[in-house]
Amino acid sequence: MQEVSRTWYGKSAAGKIEGKNMRVGMGYDVHKLVSDRKLILGGVDIPYEKGLLGHSDADVVVHAIMDALLGAAALGDIGKHFPDTDPQYKGISSISLLEQVGKLLEEELYVIENIDATIIAQRPKLRPYMEEMVGNVAKALNLSVKQVNIKATTEEGLGFTGSGDGIAAQAICSLVPVNNYVYDTIMAEGESGGCSGCSGCGKDRQ
């Protein structure tokens, strides 16, 4: 078993994880680049002459991450939970939607192990913004930045991303059910204790 420490429901826990029942999800999204829109990627407002077209802020990499997380938990996709026909999501921050996905996974008793995402864009150069993107995603999901990786590549001028018509993103993630964890301690509001009486992770309800 692997030594781990994780946080959810405002509690931090340390113990071991059994190497079974890991669930993996994949996500993909693409949006068209247009004038008169902000370019938001990973929750970062990136200076550029064009932005991504969409019902929300069209944050393509966050959308891919959300789809990967929902897919790993067999909970559908972002279109099911946040339909683009619903006016309440018009112009909404995708980071705020990612927070809702994180809460849904908590309710379903899943723990996020890691996220790896790739942005596919010919322009602009994104390396200067990667650290902030990772921080935004990690914060939204109550993860360590060591559990999140975001990178960027081009398609060497090929296809719709190479021509600058759009930006795509892919993501993969792994989840583990809470009842795979064997805890030594659970810390809540500065107090430590075992699982008895703690309703945070739901392990005793399994």
82 assigned ligand-binding residue = yes
81 labeled part of a ligand binding site = no
29 annotated ligand binder? yes
Determine if residue 36 is labeled as part of a ligand binding site. Answer: no
Per the annotation, does 160 bind a ligand? yes
Q: Is 79 annotated as a binding residue?
A: yes
Is 86 annotated in a binding site? The answer is yes
Whether 105 contacts 175, CB under 8 Å: yes
**Residue 156, annotated as binding a ligand:** yes
Distance (Å, whole) CA 164 – CA 122 = 6
83 carries a ligand binding annotation: yes
Task: State yes or no: 45 annotated in a binding site.
Answer: no
185 is in an annotated binding site: no
Q: Is 186 annotated as a binding residue?
A: no
Q: Which long-range contacts (CB under 8 A, 24 or more apart) does 141-148 make?
A: 141/98, 141/99, 141/101, 141/102, 141/112, 141/115, 142/7, 142/8, 142/102, 143/7, 143/112, 143/115, 147/112, 147/113, 147/114, 147/115, 148/114, 148/115
User: 63: annotated binding-site residue?
Assistant: yes
Binding-site residue numbers are 29-31, 55-56, 63, 77-79, 82-86, 153-156, 160
Binding-site residue numbers for a divalent metal cation are 29, 31, 63
